[in-house]
Amino acid sequence: MDSLEEEKRRIKKRRENYFNNKCEFLEDGEEKKKNYVNGLIARLLIGLIVFFGILIATNFNGRINNFVHEKILKENMSFTKITDMYNKYFGSIVPLKNMGSDEKTVFNEKMTYEEIKNYQNGYELTVQNNYLVPVINSGIVVFIGEKDNLGNTVIIQGIDGIDYWYSNVENLSVNLYDYTSKGDYLGTSKDNKLYLTFKKENDFLEYDEVVK
């Protein structure tokens, strides 16, 4: 009889320990979730303060206003540098390197050509008429427009910090500031010529350095 009562007490004690541990686990999970949300809100507020601070400064300071127009609005913004700097000081909300996935692409083609030769600061590729142009590396579209002696051009700033210029293209599937994944369909060549240029900061890169 005593052993039966003792067993009941042990079972009761185990049950109490189980529920106590479960409650502690749930409380710990709720605390982590609360800390994450608070951190996210804080980072968003800091971002807004910085944005409105720059906006106010450009309205009241002529030198800052000229700098913004000359260095940011007239030139390609370095999204990778901005993201790295933001992540360094404020923490990442959605890391640029994790946007999209190279494992899941829509078009999933590699660059092919019949002939390649140097042209201006890049390369002229002889391709099939109306060649379906694939995106060489994932990134953000930072420019769409005409370039001298190149025709209609799309510039994608890759997640590796390289600017990829695709020129003499039409029937585009992208818009300005779209995110594109490696292998996605960009558009078609206007004829049988496709011009590619690879630029990182002030340096133009070789085809073999970039296209693996």
In this structure, the number of other CB atoms found within 10 A of the CB of residue 79 comes to 18
Average pLDDT over the chain, rounded to whole? 76
Radius of gyration of the chain (CA): 27
Question: Cα–Cα distance between 155 and 38 in angstroms, integer?
Answer: 37
Give 87-106 pLDDT, tens digit per residue: 555 555 444 444 444 444 44
Contact 149, 90 (CB under 8 A): no
Tell me the CATH class for 115-210: mainly beta
Contact 138, 180 (CB under 8 A): yes
**pLDDT given for residue 44 in this prediction:** 72
Res. 12 pLDDT band, cuts 50 70 90: low
Nearest to 212 by CA among 119, 115, 135, 111: 111
Give 21-69 pLDDT, tens digit per residue: 555 555 555 666 666 667 667 777 776 786 677 667 666 666 655 655 5
Contact 134, 109 (CB under 8 A): yes
DSSP class of residue 72 equals I
